[in-house]
């Protein structure tokens, strides 16, 4: 039970620093739980899932559009909707004119291919 608690403490400390991990990090934590803490894969997966770690990149769409959370919190819903629509059209206009699909990162498809 001690090793399980030690692993949970480690994962909780990690989450406090970074709530998002890569898929490679998830695999590493699975190995750590099994090999160093003597847990089963299922126990280790349950601990990772219970911690609420997000696996993969998490995108803040307001940030992509150029808004801060503080700014958004001070606005009413209608103003937010209007500003998001304007920013969205401005950000994706070149991609849409070129027949491309909008991208979450604000780049045109061509820019995304060269990244």
What pLDDT digit, counting tens, does each position of 60-84 carry?
667 777 787 778 788 888 998 888 8
List, for residues 82-98, the tens digit of each pLDDT value. Answer: 888 888 777 777 666 66
Instruction: Evaluate if residue 102 carries a pLDDT over 60.
Output: no
pLDDT of res. 5: 92
Q: Which residue has the higher pLDDT, 109 or 32?
A: 32
Q: Assess whether pLDDT exceeds 80 at residue 1.
A: no
Q: What average pLDDT score do residues 43-59 get?
A: 80
Give me the pLDDT at residue 32, please: 92
SS3 track for the chain: CHHHHHHHHHHHHHHHHCCEECHHHHHHHHHHHHHHCCCCHHHHHHHHHHHCCEECCCCCHHHHCCCCHHHHHCCCHHHHHHHHHHHHHHHHHHHHHCCCCCCCCCCCHHHHHCC
């Amino acid at each position: 039970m001690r090793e399980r608690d030690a692993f949970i403490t480690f994962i909780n400390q990690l989450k406090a620093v970074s709530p998002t991990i890569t898929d490679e990090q998830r695999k590493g934590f699975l190995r750590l739980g099994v090999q160093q803490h003597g847990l089963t894969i299922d126990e280790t997966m349950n601990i990772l899932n219970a911690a609420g770690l997000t696996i993969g990149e998490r995108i803040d769409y307001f940030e992509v559009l150029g808004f801060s959370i503080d700014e958004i919190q001070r606005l009413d819903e209608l103003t937010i909707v209007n500003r998001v629509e304007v920013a969205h059209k401005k950000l994706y206009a070149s991609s849409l004119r070129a027949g491309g699909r909008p991208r979450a990162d604000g780049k045109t498809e061509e820019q995304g291919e060269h990244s």
